[in-house]
Structure 1
Amino acid sequence: MKEKRSSFSGSIGFVLAAAGSAVGVGNIWRFPYLCAKDGGGLFLLVYLVLVLTFGFVLLTTDVAIGRKTKKNALKAFEELNPKWKFLGRLTFLVPVLIMTYYSVIGGWITKYLFVYLVSDGIEAAVDGYFTSFITSDIAPIVFMLIFLALTAWIVFRGVEKGIEKFSKIIMPGLILLIVIIAIFCLTLTNTAPDGTVRTGMQGLAVYLKPDFHGLTVKRFLEILLDAMSQLFFSLSVSMGIMITYGSYVKNDIDLNKATNQIEIFDTGVAILAGMMIIPAVFVFLGNDGMASGPSLIFISLPKVFDAMGVFGRPAAIAFFLMMGFAALTSCVSVMETLVANGMELYHKPRKKMCGVVGIYSFITAVLICLGYNKLYFELKLPNGSVGQLLDVMDYISNSFLMPFISLLTSILIGWVIGPDWIIGEVERNGEKFKRAGMYRFMIRYVVPVVMLVLFLVSTGFADLIA
């Protein structure tokens, strides 16, 4: 028996749930270290331009496709054009890959929150603590399972009683925590061993001031790729999530207004995350602290909390609680996409599909955990970086599939279906789509070209051509 299709109760429920998906580890974990790596304010400037152009186009496209078809990615593209049903399968593959490692990262965050809740957390600041934890046999799996079980429980409760209700409670608290911590970090002051006084406001300048030193065309393309990869990960576009959430949106909702609100939520949190993390790391660790890359929050920040003295533990608890909220809302959206597609494809009830997806997520996440010990290997990726199992999954989903899916989607909407199909859905209730002209131009001429370039850069073909 086919279940009645779920829906969000209204605009606020949709916006908070979609923002919850968008506001995740991508904003708070990836954004600050990419910003520090790619020239501070230069990366920020590139990212903002991308959000206002590509982000707006891709987000509007996904949500409109979902609401118009009332189907998930697997079936939505087939309804648009039967010859393009393969694009639905490609899109579905992205959350399949992301789900393998997102709960692992969620488990890391859960572990650090637990450490600071039950102790002063001094051990978390010791060199080698993070490496020792992720390379151990059992602990990463246990904390991953706790995080995954909570994710599955929320998805099991459904759209309105689970995802929407959870988002309405968590999102306001998440944003409040981010604002409080960001303001606190800007007030920090510390005297370095050489006698230099470093302040949070100086760290803010490091964050916001564009660094054009050594900028070349190739380097700019690398920054552009990082920013676009961050955009995909952050806004949850080109992975079927926003198509799924869009399919739950009622027809009387103003899509243009809703997508604008999601953009504001997502970008605002990303900017605040940078204001929260980069000044704090600068104050206590200087510029060297920025070089820890993806491990910024697990290696550098515990040292910052340790240096804060009596304020360290409360700040750490608030930070990792906020990180936990962000990771959970995003992981819920990834799992919901898999469950919803499974329900639609196999006509099975939510309860059974939650069980199937939960088992898949657990088994693959265990393999990712083992990728740091028993299954450890190093592989040079086409983009020049070297990684192991988690990095491979992240590269395939974010740097390879997402630009490729966006390229194909822009061709389908821009040249096969026509931009007016999307514009008509946005204006369904008579609301004026003020950026319709920009949307039409971007989806037909700009997005395909830029996505092709980014795809060639991310796969290493650009270097071969050069």
Structure 2
Amino acid sequence: MKEKKSNFSNSIGFVLAAAGSAVGVGNIWRFPYLCAKDGGGLFLIIYLILVLTFGFVLLTTDIAIGRKTKQNALKAFGTLHPKWRFLGYLTFLVPALIMTYYSVIGGWITKYFCEYIISDGSALSKDSYFTSFITSKVSPIVFMLIFLALTAWIVYRGVEKGIEKFSRFIMPGLIILILVIAIFSLTLSKKDTDGTVRTGLQGLWVYLYPDFSGLTVKRFLEILLDAMSQLFFSLSVSMGIMVTYGSYVKDDVNLNKSINQIEIFDTGVAFLAGMMIIPAVFVFLGTDGMASGPSLIFISLPKVFEAMGPVGKITAIAFFLMMGFAALTSCVSVMETLVANCMEIFHKTRKQMCSMIGIYSLITAVLICLGYNALYFELPLPNGATAQLLDVMDYISNSFLMPFISFLTSILVGWVIGPKYIISEVERNGEHFGRARLYSFMIRFVVPVVMLILFLVSTGIGNLF
């Protein structure tokens, strides 16, 4: 028996759920790191321009397609045009790959949160702690299982009683935690042995000041690609999530206003994350402390918390609680997309599909955990980096598939069905779509070119030119 179609109860529920999907671990560690690496305020300016152009176009396209067709991503593209049904299956691959490792990262965060709760956290600041934890064979699997079980429980409860209700509680809490820690970071200071004093406000200047020194065309393109890559991380576009969430939006919701609110939420959280992390790391570790990825969250920041003294433990607990919220909202959206798609494929209930996707996620996540010990290998990627199992899944989904899906989607909307299809959906209730002309121009001429370049770079072909 087919279940009744679920919906968000109102626009606020949709905005908070969609913003929760967009605001994830990538916003917290990746955005500050890239900002510090790519010229501070210069990266901020470029990223903001991309959000208002590319981000707006991709987000609008996904959500409008979802609401117009009332289908999840698997069927939505086939509804737009029968010959483009394959695009729905491509979008299905992205969350299927992301789900293999996101709960693993969520387990790492859960582990650190629990450790700070039960101990003073001094052991976590050691350089070897993180490596010894992820390479152990049991502990990462246990904490991954805790995080995955919570994710599955929220998705099992459905759209309104699970995802929306959870987001209404978590998102305000997440914003408050980030804001409090950000303000606290600005009050920090430390005196070095040579008498030099570093303050949080100086760190804020490092974060906001546009550094144009040594800027060349090649360097500008590198920053542009970093910012565009972050955009995919940040807005959950081109992976079927926003199409699925869009299908849950009622027809009387002002789509244009909701999309603007999601942009503000997501970009605001990313900005506050930088304001929270960069000043604190600058004060206690200097500019050398801004390492990327897991090194920033699980190695550099525990050193910062230890250097803070007695208040460090409280700050660490608040930080990893916030990180847990961010990871959970994103993981829920990824699993929901898989469950919604599989309900259509297998014609099963939400309960049955939650169990099925839960088992798939558990098996693949265990394999990812073992990728740091029993299944460890090193594989060179087209971008020159060396990867193991988690990195390979991340690279295929985020750097390879997502630009390719965005390229194909822009061709479909811009040149096959026409931009008016999306614009009419945004203006369904008589709302004014102020960026309609920009949308038409971007989706037809700009997005296809840039996405094709990103795709070629991800495959290594772009390095030949």
Q: Give the TM interval when normalised to the shorter protein.
A: over 0.9
> Displacement, 1:293?
4.4
In structure 2, the residue corresponding to 1:291 is in which secondary structure? coil
* Amino acid corresponding to residue 394 of structure 1 in structure 2: D
Output the CA distance in 2 between the equivalents of 1:142 and 1:221: 42
Q: 2: distance between equivalents of 1:172 and 1:251? A: 26
3-state secondary structure, aligned to 1:373: coil
Shift of the alpha carbon at 1:217? Answer: 2.8
Q: Which residue of 2 aligns with 1:306?
A: 306
Once residues 106 and 58 of structure 2 are traced to their aligned partners in structure 1, the CA distance between those partners, rounded to angstroms, is 26
**What does residue 338 of structure 2 align with?**
338
Query: In the alignment, which residue of structure 2 is the partner of 1:59?
Result: 59
What does residue 47 of structure 1 align with? 47
User: What's 2:158 paired with?
Assistant: 158
The answer on whether the counterparts of 1:33 and 1:294 sit within 8 Å (CA) in structure 2 is no
Task: Give yes or no for the alignment of 1:370 onto 2:405.
Answer: no
Shift of residue 292, structure 1, vs aligned partner: 4.7
Q: 1:293 to 1:126 in 2, by over 3 A?
A: same
Look up the match of 1:246. 246
CA contact (8 A) 2:203 2:278 kept: yes
After superposition, the C-alpha distances for 1:215-253 in whole angstroms (9 at most, x for unaligned) are 333332222222111111110000000000000000000
Partner of 1:284: 284
Aligned 1:436-455 pairs, distance under 5 A: 436-455=436-455
Instruction: Give how far 1:133 is off.
Output: 0.6
C-alpha separation between the residues in 1 aligned to 2:210 and 2:460?
A: 27
Greater displacement, 114-123 / 214-223: 214-223
For residues 10 and 317 of structure 1, what CA distance do their matches in structure 2 show? 33
Separation in 2, partners of 1:203, 1:170: 29
Aligned equivalents of 2:193 and 2:448: distance in 1?
A: 51
Work out the CA distance in 1 between the residues paired with 2:138 and 2:153: 23
- Report the equivalent of 1:194: 194
Moved more, 167-176 or 188-197: 188-197
CA deviation map 1:378-426 (0-9, x unaligned): 1111112211111111111111111111011000000000000000000
Cα distance in 1, alignment partners of residues 321 and 173 from structure 2 = 10
Distance 1:193 1:332 in 2: 47
Q: Establish whether residue 433 from structure 1 lines up as the match of residue 433 from structure 2.
A: yes
Which amino acid letter does the alignment assign opposite residue 45 of structure 1? I
Alignment of 1:178 with 2:196, yes or no, is: no
5 Å matches for 1:126-145?
Answer: 126-145=126-145
Taking a change above 3 Å as real, the CA distance of residues 344 and 91 of structure 1, as seen in their structure-2 partners, is: same
Structure-2 separation of matches of 1:362 and 1:33: 30
User: Residue 27 of structure 1 contacts residue 270 of structure 1 at CA under 8 Å; is this kept in 2?
Assistant: yes
Asked if 1 retains the 8 angstrom alpha-carbon contact of 2:56 and 2:263, the reply is yes
Partner of residue 95, structure 1: 95
Question: For residue 17 of structure 1, what is the aligned residue in structure 2?
Answer: 17
In structure 2, what is the Cα distance between the partners aligned to 1:347 and 1:445? 39
* 8 Å contact from structure 1 (residues 185, 280) kept in 2: yes
CA distance in 1, matches of 2:3, 2:16: 24
How many angstroms does 1:458 deviate by? 2.1
1:456 corresponds to which letter in structure 2? L
For 2:49 and 2:333, how far apart are their aligned partners in 1? Answer: 26
1:30 and 2:30 are equivalent in the alignment: yes
**Deviation, structure 1 residue 322:** 0.4
Q: How big is the shift at 1:59?
A: 0.3
**In structure 1, C-alpha distance between the alignment counterparts of 2:133 and 2:44, rounded to whole Å:** 32
Q: What code does the residue aligned with 1:158 have?
A: G
Shift of residue 291 of structure 1? 3.0
TM-superposed CA distance for 1:356, in Å, is 0.6
Q: Which runs of 5+ in 1 are unaligned?
A: none
Aligned position for 1:146: 146
2:136 is paired with a residue whose SS is coil
Do the aligned partners of 1:192 and 1:284 also contact (CA within 8 Å) in 2?
no
* Larger mean Cα displacement after TM superposition, 37-46 or 377-386: 37-46
In structure 2, what is the Cα distance between the partners aligned to 1:370 and 1:77?
36
Q: Which runs of 4+ in 1 moved over 4 A?
A: none
Q: Which residue of 2 aligns with 1:417?
A: 417
Q: Which residue of 2 aligns with 1:8?
A: 8
Match of 2:260 in 1: 260
Q: How does 1:386-397 map to 2 (within 5 A)?
A: 386-397=386-397
The count of residues paired between Structure 1 and Structure 2 equals: 465
Cα RMSD, aligned residues only? 1.0
Confirm whether residue 229 of structure 1 aligns to residue 203 of structure 2.
Answer: no
Q: Is the 8 A contact 2:96 2:338 kept in 1?
A: yes
Question: In 2, distance between residues paired with 1:296 and 1:213?
Answer: 25
Match of 2:122 in 1: 122
Please report how far the alpha carbon of residue 211 of structure 1 lies from its aligned counterpart in structure 2 after TM superposition.
2.4
Asked if the contact 2:30–2:292 (Cα under 8 Å) also holds between the matched residues in 1, the reply is no
Q: How far, CA to CA, are the matches of 1:293 and 1:89 in structure 2? A: 30
- What is the identity, as a one-letter code, of the residue corresponding to 2:180? I
- Confirm whether residue 81 of structure 1 aligns to residue 81 of structure 2: yes
Counterpart of 1:327 in structure 2 is 327
Q: Distance in 2 between matches of 1:116 and 1:380?
A: 36
**TM-score, scaled relative to structure 1:** 0.98
- Percent identity of equivalent pairs: 81
Superposed CA offset, 1:181-213 (max 9, x none): 000001100112332100001111111112233
Distance 1:193 1:378, change over 3 A: farther
Check 1:294–1:209 CA distance in 2 against 1; reply closer, same or farther (3 A cut).
farther
Contact 2:343 2:349 in 1 (8 A): yes
Paired with 1:291 and 1:347, the residues of 2 have a C-alpha distance of 46
Cα deviation for residue 456 of structure 1 reads: 1.5
Maintained 8 Å contact 1:14/1:164: yes
Q: Is the 8 A contact 1:34 1:293 kept in 2?
A: no
User: Alignment partner of 2:250: what SS?
Assistant: coil
User: SS state of the match for residue 198, structure 1?
Assistant: strand
TM-score (norm 2): 0.99
User: Structure 2 counterpart of 1:310, which letter?
Assistant: P
